[in-house]
Amino acid sequence: MNDHSIESQTALQSKILHGKRALVIGVANEHSIAYGCARIFRQLGADLAITYLNEKARPYVEPLAKELGASIFAPCDVGQNGNLEAVFGQIRETWGNLDIALHSIAFAPKEDLQGRLLDSSDEGFKVAMDISCHSFIRMARLAEPLMNKGGTLLAMSYHGANKVVPNYNLMGPVKAALESTVRYLAYELGDKHIRVHAVSPGPLKTRAASGLKDFDVLLSEAIERAPIGELVDIDDVGLTAAYLTTPFAKRLTGTTTYVDGGLSIMA
Ligand code: NAD
């Protein structure tokens, strides 16, 4: 945490998410945005279900899940049939219901990610859309019956959805689809008091980001150009994600909330 003000300490101590159950998909390591979100949810009192991609990822994720006292720790590759269903089956058996589900995953094959959108392959585009966008729809469908007292679904987007960010390439249209998905799901689930949001962080040094060409340039430009003049960190993203799940945001749904130090307002 980089904010030690009395207000933020008080908010954290008030444990506003006490008794809430949160699924977090997308922790790869201690730099992951999903880890920042899970840590803040936990500090605010939530019980956690944390997933890991596969056996190769497990040794990096397991100590973090343990540190956060996760009640559920399960494998989940959203591209493999049955994986998401198994996680939700475990949630149903262990908890019986769910309040928060956070999707913080994205993938595109390297050659598609690093080339022009114009040159992206059929298969590369399909995989990127499936893992980074349609899996959010599948997650929402499985969460719906467990969110019988309402809930919040969250997805991670990026400014490249709305403006052209050089080197973001095919992820631009994929994130645009994700943000639109958030709005349509918000519409379809509103009467069940399930709120749906995209969170759009400024650039952060994570493993996924290291797959983008010239990402360091994006980071240094963010520091130079953002009104707040500093990079965001994963706890900043976690605090905003947490806010969206609380009664403070109970009349908000379908939004894309930027956590970028104001970078996206700049021409
Ligand atoms: P990260 O590498 O830590 O996280 C990406 C996660 O996606 C990993 O945990 C990985 O296991 C998971 N993943 C990939 N394929 C998967 C699959 N088939 N099934 C399940 N999980 C899968 O990087 P991150 O930056 O924390 O990325 C999280 C999200 O934040 C992504 O949606 C990304 O686009 C978004 N985002 C990142 C930045 C940034 O600058 N890092 C900025 C804005 C948005």
- pLDDT confidence of residue 7: 63
What number does the ligand 1 atom closest to the CA of 208 have? 2
Active site residue 258: no
Atom of ligand 1 nearest to the CA of 83: 19
What's the CATH fold of domain 3-265?
Rossmann fold (3.40.50)
For a mutational test of ligand 1's pocket, the pick from 27, 102, 105, i.e. the residue with the most ligand atoms closer than 8 A to its C-beta, is: 105
Counting atoms of ligand 1 from 1, which one is nearest the CA of 28? 9
Q: Is 168 an annotated catalytic residue?
A: yes
Distance 11 CA to ligand 1 centre (A): 27
CB 120 near ligand 1, within 6 Å:
no
Reduced 3-state DSSP string for the chain: CCCCCHHHHHHHHCCCCCCCEEEEECCCCCCCHHHHHHHHHHHCCCEEEEEECCCCCHHHHHHHHHHCCCCEEEECCCCCCCHHHHHHHHHHHHCCCCCEEEECCCCCCHHHHHCCHHHCCHHHHHHHHHHHHHHHHHHHHHHHHHCECEEEEEEECCHHHCCCCCCCCCHHHHHHHHHHHHHHHHHHHHHHCEEEEEEEECCCCCCCHHHCCCHHHHHHHHHHHCCCCCCCCHHHHHHHHHHHHCHHHCCCCCCEEEECCCHHHCC
> How far does residue 2's CA lie from ligand 1's centre (Å)?
22
Indicate the pTM of the whole model. Answer: 0.96
Q: Is the CB of 204 under 6 A from ligand 1?
A: yes
Task: Output the pLDDT for position 4.
Answer: 54
12 C-beta closer than 6 A to ligand 1 = no
Average pLDDT of adjacent 10-residue blocks, the chain of 267 residues: 59 84 98 98 97 98 98 98 98 98 98 97 98 98 97 98 97 98 98 98 96 94 96 98 97 98 96
- Per-residue confidence (pLDDT) for residue 14, from 0 to 100: 78
Question: Can you give the residue ranges of every domain in the chain?
Answer: 3-265
**Whether residue 35 has its Cβ less than 6 Å from ligand 1:** no
CA of 7 to the centre of ligand 1 (A): 30
User: Is residue 209 lining ligand 1, measured as CB closer than 6 Å?
Assistant: yes
Q: Which atom of ligand 1 is nearest to the CA of 33?
A: 26
Atom 35 in ligand 1: residue holding the nearest Cα = 156
The predicted pLDDT at position 3 comes to 55
Is ligand 1 within 6 A of the CB of residue 32? yes
